[in-house]
Chain A
Amino acid sequence: MNISKLQDQIGRTIFYFVLLIFVLISVVPIIWIWSSAFKPKMEIFLNPFGIPEKFILDNLLHAWSIGRMNVYFWNSIYVSIPTVLIVLSVASLAGYGFAKLSLWGKDILFFILLLGLIVPFQGIIVSLYQTIFSLNLIDNRWAVILSESAWQVPFSTFLMRSFFRSLPDEFMDAARIDGCSEFQIFRTIMLPLAKPAILSLVMISFMWIWNDFLLSLLFLHKESLRTLPLGLMFFRGRYSSDYALIAAGVTICSAPIIIVYVFLQRYFEAGIASGGIK
């Protein structure tokens, strides 16, 4: 009896030890660079792994204003909000259409849309650039907003379609008897019911656009238009020897998405698990 209890104890210790090791692997790199952002320049070399002896905000302030991270931050916001709104409206309409409405050639249309899930984005950048160029949108935020939205359409429509399919048709029939128009049914009955799916979609869509690098690299050549990831990359080149400042840049770039994640974590996971394809 006692031996088996001891065995159980040892088993549980190993169990939590393994879990803890991976907690460290997952967060220590981030904590390390975040804490470096609060250290004076020299301390990064003298005391690279410890917590800061004295917290200073100079690096963050310096990166924010002189390093122009404030400009990049707002650029990221200006690109992210329209993208999320466009994806959300376009995908809930299309997802509802594919799930609940009768359309001639629905299967073929849906298959054409799914093609976008298959093709790797890197494979189309050359011709996408030509299209954006011919639309005269180089160095225009809309190049990134529209391309990213278009790219997210297949996945997000897929996500919304699966959700709407899980809602029973009886809701719609009841509303029809009450004299609702078709669009009213969508707008006032079905859309509010889709709130969990919408939140998941908003989270994932926001994460993708916030972290986008390639599209900004392709289309935004003007320094004043750079988004955070793109700005951060050039920032690293410019201040290559000032590690405290780079750490501050990384902190500014990663803090917003981590804060959003910490508060709305379950919607991220729900979306990832239900989509699973990207």
Chain B
Amino acid sequence: MPYGRKLKNYLYILPAFALYGLLILRSIIDTFTLSLYKWTGVGPKTFVGLANFQKLFLDMRFWNCIKNNMIWTGFYMVLPLGIGLLLATLLAQKRVRGRTFFRAVYFLPCVLSFVVVGIVWGWIYHPTFGVLNAILKFLGLGFLARGWLGDSHWALYCVILAGSWTYYGFCMVILISALQNIEPLLYDAVKIDGANKLQSFWFVTLPSLKNVLTFLMILSLANSFKIFDIVYVMTKGGPYLSTEVTSLYLYNKAFSQSQIGYASSISIVLMGIVSFMAINLIRLRES
């Protein structure tokens, strides 16, 4: 191929790389540099080496955020994934009337903005007219009613539940496309052996979904560390830091307290955790 034409080929990827390089790649590199400085955002920067990381290691507030992200991860790997699996398996049955309708409805919460989700769920947990307290009173469990988001024992779980609401539909869509790839002969084979529906789920469906399920679990892990909007809207990290997550902490450090260097070191740790998960994820996809 002539040399000129080959150079021309680069014009196709040039706009993408210009945009990506100038804003994303540059920001990634800058974060590493900034994490080595003490800086308020204006004026001169002071080089401090790894002091920010040292400080971070002893910062209890940071570890509290990591703990909250871990709790988030635990729930995300079980609740939305479990519901997604249940719905995907049900919809994959033969003779389901209104399959498209059900699928569309279950996915609906996934297209909403987290601000909308946060407000809607804020209403559900509302102390005076919230649905949750109304249901509890209806069931005779009125003594459990409370202002859910103002209660530092419950707030985190309430926010996670709201997050899960936007996530099971996503898991379902991914799992449905995986279920469609299962060889139907496998089901016929265990049917001949006399397996009932539950057994064929256990012996055929689950093993065939192993890779996708692991993929979704790692994805949930990574997503749990990216949580920001919904916490910002619902609780801003409160009450008493009980719902604060890593990205919110770094946002506050950078934009309320002007500790740019320190916030960058938190960013590096966050990037480290999520990249580690994601690399495993991609490896899994390749296999």
Residue of chain A at shortest CB distance from B245: A122
Which has the most chain B C-beta neighbours within 10 Å: A120, A129, A150? A120
Docked-complex contact B6 and A104, CB < 8 angstroms: yes
B107 near A268: Cβ-Cβ < 8 Å: yes
Residues of B contacting A77 in the complex (Cβ-Cβ under 8 angstroms):
none
Give the complex CA separation of A94 and B281 in angstroms.
Answer: 24
Question: Residues 145-175 of chain B: 1 if any A CB is under 8 Å from the residue's CB, otherwise 0?
Answer: 0000000000000000000010001100110
Residue A236 CB within 8 A of the other chain = yes
Q: Is A167 interfacial (CB-CB < 8 Å)?
A: no
Query: Which residue of A is nearest B228, CB measured?
Result: A122
Q: What is the minimal beta-carbon distance from A118 to any residue of chain B, in angstroms?
A: 4
Segment of B121-129, B186-194, B199-207 in the binding face: B121-129
Q: Does A130 touch B at the CB level, under 8 Å?
A: yes
B89-104 near A? 1/0 per residue, CB < 8 Å: 0110100000000111
Residues of B within 8 A of A119 (CB): 24, 28, 271, 274-275
Q: Is B177 an interface residue (CB 8 A)?
A: yes
A94 and B12: CB pair below 8 A?
yes
Assess A93 versus B121: contact at CB under 8 Å? Given A128-B23, A261-B108.
Answer: no
Q: For this complex, into which size category does the number of interface residues on chain A fall?
A: 35 or more
Which chain B residues lie closer than 8 Å to A213 at the CB level? 113-115, 229, 232-233
Q: Check B116 against A253 for contact (C-beta < 8 Å).
A: yes
Judge if B225 is at the interface, Cβ distance under 8 Å: yes
B278: Cβ under 8 A from any A Cβ = yes
Is there contact, CB below 8 Å, between A126 and B250? yes
Compute how far the CA of A246 lies from the CA of B120 in the bound complex, rounded to whole angstroms. Answer: 10
**Please, how many angstroms separate the alpha-carbon atoms of A273 and B178 in the complex?**
9
Contact assessment for B263 and A126 in the assembled complex, using a CB-CB cutoff below 8 Å: yes
CB contact between A93 and one of B5, B15, B26, B119 (< 8 Å): that residue: B15
Digitize B197-216: 1 where CB-to-A-CB distance is under 8 Å, 0 elsewhere. 00000000000000000010
Q: Which of A113, A115, A126, A272 contacts B173 (CB 8 A)?
A: A272
Contact B9 A102 (CB under 8 A): yes
Any A CB within 8 A of the CB of B264: yes
Instruction: State whether A276 touches B174 (Cβ < 8 A).
Output: yes
Q: Is A18 an interface residue when CB atoms closer than 8 A count as contact?
A: yes
Judge if A33 is at the interface, Cβ distance under 8 Å. yes
Residue B254 at the A interface, CB < 8 A?
yes
Residue of B nearest to A147 (CB): B23
A153 in the interface (beta carbon within 8 A): yes
Pick from A21-29, A55-63, A193-201 the stretch touching chain B.
A21-29
Given contacts A29-B121, A123-B274, contact A272 B90 (CB under 8 A): no
Please, how many residues of chain B have a CB less than 8 angstroms from a CB on the other chain? 89
B144 close to A (CB within 8 Å)? no
With both chains docked as a complex, state the minimum distance between the C-beta of B254 and any C-beta of chain A, in angstroms. 5
Bound state CA distance, A48 and B270, in angstroms? 42
Chain B interface SS verdict (over half): helix
List which A43-66 residues lie within 8 A (CB) of chain B.
44-45, 48-49
Q: Is B75 an interface residue (CB 8 A)?
A: no
Contact B12 A93 (CB under 8 A): yes
Closest chain A residue to B9 by CB distance? A101
Say yes or no: A90-B28 contact (C-beta < 8 A), given A147-B23, A213-B113, A213-B114: no
Question: Are A120 and B27 in contact, CB atoms less than 8 angstroms apart?
Answer: no
CB distance from B158 to the nearest CB of A (A): 13
Smallest CB separation, A143 vs chain B (Å): 10
B131 on interface, CB distance cutoff 8 Å? yes
> Are B107 and A269 in contact, with the CB atoms below 8 A?
yes
Q: Does B226 contact A (CB under 8 A)?
A: yes
| Interface check B36, CB cutoff 8 A | no
Interface: B87 (CB within 8 A): yes
Give the Cβ gap from B202 to chain A, nearest Cβ, in Å: 17
Residue in A44, A97, A98, A122 whose Cβ sees the most chain B Cβ within 10 Å: A122
A85 to chain B, nearest CB (A): 12
* A97 and B9 within 8 A (CB): yes
Query: In the complex, which residue of chain B has the Cβ closest to the Cβ of A101?
Result: B9
User: B240 interface residue, CB < 8 Å from A?
Assistant: no
B237 to chain A, nearest CB (A): 14
| A residues less than 8 Å from B107 (CB atoms) | 265, 268-269
Report the bound CA distance from A229 to B26 in whole Å.
Answer: 28
Tell whether A67 is near chain B: CB-to-CB under 8 Å. no
Give the docked Cα–Cα distance between A89 and B11 (Å).
13
Q: Does A157 contact B (CB under 8 A)?
A: yes
Is A163 close to B, CB under 8 A?
Answer: no
Interface presence of B267 (CB below 8 A): yes
B58 adjacent to chain A (CB < 8 Å) = no
A263 CB, min distance to chain B CBs, angstroms: 11
CB-based nearest A residue for B269: A123
Flag whether A189 is at the interface (Cβ < 8 A). Answer: no
Cβ contact of B115, chosen from A18, A32, A229, cutoff 8 A: A229
Cα distance A246–B123 in the bound complex, in angstroms: 11
Minimum CB–CB distance for B238 against chain A, Å: 15
CA distance A111 to B108 in the complex (A): 33
Selected A-B contacts with CB under 8 Å, 6 pairs = A19-B91, A49-B134, A90-B15, A98-B13, A102-B9, A258-B111
